[in-house]
A = this chain, B = another copy of it.
């Protein structure tokens, strides 16, 4: 073994990673969404997921103020729309209008579901952890939805064999696993 910078170590193993959308609403009820790759299950019962959100993100402010978010799992066909959500700010654009994705009301939280996604999870924030440049929201899943259509979840992919690159921008590579 040899010592190496963390950024170089990362390249050996940081893909594949799921790429999801996280929706939220601002105090006036206006919806926003962001692309999130920092996501993990964090409790079994009740089911809780953790998401890591940049402190500068408007979505983070929405989630902190409302105590709610939804996780929407996109199929690979939405690669370009997810990239748009990850590279633009909700302060400047209406991401639902710009991507054409459809906001649908959930059952419990005000953050919308995304109609075109494979899975949607309504989450209520049960804990928040400030780290440094990011904060981590822990959301208990209070309602779960699945699409009637099957599909392959979108992944952040590396350059290894076996993956299909579907859309690349600004060094971010989105795709899926080859059949």
Q: How far is the CA of A115 from the CA of B2 in the complex (A)?
A: 11
- A97: chain B residues at CB < 8 Å are none
Q: Measured between C-beta atoms, what is the minimum distance from A166 to chain B in Å? A: 14
Q: Which residue of chain B lies nearest to A136 when distances are taken between CB atoms in the complex? A: B42
Q: Are B48 and A144 in contact (CB under 8 A)?
A: no
* Most interface-central of A43, A48, A178 (chain B CB within 10 A): A43
Q: Mark A159-176, 1 if CB is under 8 A from B, else 0.
A: 011110000000000001
* Interface size band for A: 35 or more
Chain A facing B: main interface SS: strand
**Is A153 close to B, CB under 8 A?**
yes
Q: Are B50 and A3 in contact (CB under 8 A)?
A: no
Q: How far is the CA of A26 from the CA of B155 in the complex (A)?
A: 37
Protomer copies: 2
Q: Which of B6, B107, B177 contacts A141 (CB 8 A)?
A: B6
Q: How far is the CA of A36 from the CA of B46 in the complex (A)?
A: 19
**Is A18 close to B, CB under 8 A?**
yes
Q: Which of B43, B115, B121, B179 contacts A134 (CB 8 A)?
A: B43
Q: Which residue of chain B lies nearest to A44 when distances are taken between CB atoms in the complex? A: B133
Q: Are A12 and B162 in contact (CB under 8 A)?
A: no
Q: How far is the CA of A41 from the CA of B163 in the complex (A)?
A: 22
Query: Which residues of chain A in 93-115 are interfacial with respect to chain B, using CB atoms and an 8 Å cutoff?
Result: 104, 107, 113, 115
* Most interface-central of A5, A134, A177 (chain B CB within 10 A): A177
Q: Are B1 and A133 in contact (CB under 8 A)?
A: no
